Amino acid sequence: MTAETRAPSIETAVIKWHDGVPCSTRFDDIYFSRDDGLEESRHVFIRHNQLAERFARVSAGGSFVIAETGFGTGLNFLAAWQAWEAENPGDDRCLHFVSAERFPLDREDLSQALSLWPELGDYAARLLEHYPPPVHGAHRLVLAGGRIRLTLFFGDVLEAWRELDFHADAWFLDGFAPAKNPGMWEEAAITALRRHSKPGTTLATFTAVGEVRRLLTNAGFNMRKLPGFGRKLEMLAGQLPAEPEVSCTKSPIASRPIAIIGAGVAGSLLARNLAERGCDVTLIDKAPEAGTAASGNYQGALYVKLGVEFNDQAKLGLSSLLFSQRYYAQSGGEYWHPTGLIQLAYNDSEANRQSRFTARNDYPPAVLSAVNASEASRLAGIPLQSGGLWFPHSGWLEPGMLCRSLTNHPRIQRCFGFDVHRLTPCNGKWHVAGTGEQDVVADRVVICAGHLSPKLIPLRNEFRFRTIRGQVSHLPESSLNKPAVVLCGPGYINPAHQGIALAGASFDLHDHSPALSTESHRENLSMLASMVPEALNVKAEPIDPAMLEGKVGFRCTTHDYQPVAGPLSDSAGRILEGIDLFTGLGSKGLSYAPLLAEYLADRISGQPQCLPASLARRVATLRCHRPKTSQSETIGA
């Protein structure tokens, strides 16, 4: 990052074009061969990593991991994707591509560069559809229904390899020429590469520079010089000892059943994610169908609050937001309504916070931009007194319908009407006992039961979870000047749908009643009147809170208002085998859950992880233990 670029934005590449071939002005080098970039990619990277043969050997539920230094135009990625499709592996196998890029191409340059290859047109279109905005950090792209996963780290290669958790089957070493781009080839980068390699990992690179060969040999690779492509006489290929097939054909999750407790947004997303990776899932809920409890609201906004400091909390919020926007655009079907969303500067203190936020940070307009009252009014379609932050790709969802659609998959066995009482480990498996006739027995269990999660955790010591009641109000559209976008502040109001707009939600720490309360409706109406008075139609009959419909849900929040996703550990940090926790999403479940479901499924399936280490620590269970008491801790308490 330079002085001109503030976080989270990252400097993009400055390209000049030579006969259609992109050239970096910063490094004074070309992105691919002038002779034929695609053929070069196939010659150097695909053939000399023996990818066709190795792809064909990946078995059900398995994955193959390619790591690359320098994503550039994505040509190598698309060539690998095409080679994967040519082997036609089953839908339950995944090609996982991990790449680091310090100066991402902007969307227009990427599109122009890839237009050179009409035969890759469909792949390029899909990459462009998902290509992230130029913000620093790890981006996970799920393509071709999950058969292709791309972890694209926008940042320096050393930081990428320090932060990301993966082990490669094959490497594409594709920095610019070592003399022009020494940072990509230095010893620290080669050492990190070795650390991220499986036994038998192969590598290939276009360069044959002696120093590169020496560093790779010192790192343990058996190196060979081979004929290069086009006008390049030589290239290098190498391999670590041990047969590559040992690692890449293994299928870590197929035929190892998993039980998920809770069919809300978190559990439904995780069940679907694992099922698409080839795993058999039993999804358990005490309700008769998915998405009825806290996830069963008629409407839910896709919303995160990004802090003034671009710290780990803001990074997690931003990654979650960007991933969920991509996820719902692809899988949200008719239940996703990308209307855009405004976080209103609804009072002086919030206006002040937003001005500090915009002064301190630089977000690309595709993520968010500050708007004044007249721009906000134009976007919302109703007059507004305050401006705010405009999120053009956000919107709202019908969460209950989304859950029901996600859980309709042949690998998901729905075990509904089953109230879980107890989890017990037995002979390397977990027994889930409850009101069902028989226990559910699984190799692994994930607790996604929202505010009911704490009572299912098979540890005696306490966790710092809190239950917070929230009631939403169903406002008849005739009582509103209907905003066309989601408006948020201390609460929110959604665009009207089928005659109703949902406003909420109350925040009741001390009330645990599941019944609708007139008082909570009143609270929602007064929140609305103070946040966005223009939304209420003064010409209509005044709303009688006693007559309103709505819904009560219970949020599960943590002491630090950050979610929890990962293996369950006791207060000493010892991990309990085969049990994970996925809860504490508070009122941000729709934003956090898609990325965290992806992260948990990555961990469970042994695939590269979408969260960098610093963010994985942020969501770990350990932080949620109550500070030590004299109480002893036992399993099955």
In the structure encoding, which two tokens stand for residue 419, read together? 């109230």
Identity of the residue, 212 or 585, whose beta carbon is nearer to ligand SAM in the bound complex: 212
Q: How far is the CB of 239 from ligand SAM (least distance, A)?
A: 21
In the bound state with ligand SAM, the residue whose beta carbon lies nearer, of 85 and 186, is 186
How many Å apart are CA 298 and CA 541, to the nearest integer? Answer: 24
Smallest gap from Cβ 201 to ligand SAM, in A, equals 18
Give the nearest distance from C-beta 164 to ligand SAM in angstroms.
12
Q: In what order do the strands lie in the sheet with 412-416?
A: 412-416, 281-285, 258-261, 444-447, 575-583, 564-569
Tell me how far, at minimum, the Cβ of 20 lies from ligand SAM, in Å. 14
Q: Which residues contact 252 (CB under 8 A, 6 or more apart)?
A: 61, 62, 605, 606
Instruction: Tell me the closest approach of the beta carbon of residue 105 to ligand SAM, in angstroms.
Output: 7
Q: Which of residues 552-611 bind ligand SAM (CB under 6 A)?
A: none
Asked if 66 is part of the footprint of ligand SAM (rule: CB under 6 A), the reply reads no
Please give the Cα distance from 191 to 157 (Å, whole number). Answer: 12
Nearest residue to 602 via CA among 567, 575, 568, 570: 567
CB 493 within 8 Å of CB 479: no
Q: How far is the CB of 312 from ligand SAM (least distance, A)?
A: 22
Interface with ligand SAM: number of residues (CB under 6 A): 23
Smallest gap from Cβ 357 to ligand SAM, in A, equals 28
- The span of 52-60, 72-80, 489-497, 629-637 binding ligand SAM (CB under 6 A) equals 72-80
Return the number of the residue (235 or 379) whose C-beta is nearest ligand SAM: 235
First vs last Cα of the chain: how many Å apart? 51
Residue 102: helix, strand or coil by DSSP?
coil
> Of the two residues 76 and 251, which places its CB atom closer to ligand SAM in the complex?
76
Closest CA to 581 of 632, 622, 637: 622
Give the whole-angstrom CA distance, residue 105 versus residue 73.
Answer: 7
CB closer to ligand SAM, 168 vs 371: 168
Contact (Cβ atoms closer than 8 angstroms) between residue 84 and residue 78: no
DSSP three-state, residue 360? helix
When binding is defined by CB under 6 A, the residue of 8, 62, 70, 399 that contacts ligand SAM is: 70
If the CB atoms of residues 77 and 328 are measured against ligand SAM, the closer one turns out to be 77
**Strand ranges (E), 341-464:** 341-344, 369-371, 388-391, 396-397, 412-416, 420-426, 429-434, 440-442, 444-447
Looking at residues 221 to 260 of the shown chain, list those that interact with ligand SAM (rule: CB under 6 A): none
Measured from the CB atom, the residue of 205 and 339 that comes closer to ligand SAM is 205
What mask, x for binding ligand SAM by CB under 6 A, covers residues 4 to 23? ---------x----------
Q: Which of 76, 82, 292, 405 binds ligand SAM (CB under 6 A)?
A: 76
Compute the least distance from the CB of residue 103 to ligand SAM, in Å. 4
Closest CB to ligand SAM among residues 107, 353:
107
Which CB, 8 or 434, lies closer to ligand SAM? 8
The residues pairing with 337 across neighbouring beta strands, listed in sequence order, are 396
**Judged by CB, which is closer to ligand SAM: 25, or 526?**
25
Helix then strand count (H, E) for the chain reads 18, 31
User: Which residue type does 419 have?
Assistant: D
Amino acid, single-letter form, for residue 344: L
**DSSP secondary structure letters along 152-210:** EEES-HHHHHHH----EEEEEE--S-TTT-GGGTSHHHHHHHHHTEEEEEEEEES---H
* Residues 138-197 within binding reach of ligand SAM (CB under 6 A): 156-157, 174-176, 181, 183-184
Give min distance, CB of 186 to ligand SAM, in A. 9
Residue located via tokens 């066709």: 52
Q: Where in 92-111 is the site for ligand SAM (CB under 6 A)?
A: 100-103
Name which position in 61, 62, 72, 244 contacts ligand SAM (CB under 6 A). 72
Q: Which is nearer to ligand SAM, 104 or 399 (CB)?
A: 104
Side-chain-facing half-sphere of 228: CA atoms under 13 Å: 15
Could you tell me the smallest distance in angstroms from the CB atom of residue 163 to ligand SAM? 13
Compute the least distance from the CB of residue 142 to ligand SAM, in Å: 20
31-60 positions binding ligand SAM, by CB under 6 A: 31-32
- Please tell me the number of Cα atoms within 13 Å of 626 on its side-chain side: 14
By the criterion CB under 6 A, which residues form the site for ligand SAM?
13, 31-32, 68, 70-76, 100-103, 156-157, 174-176, 181, 183-184
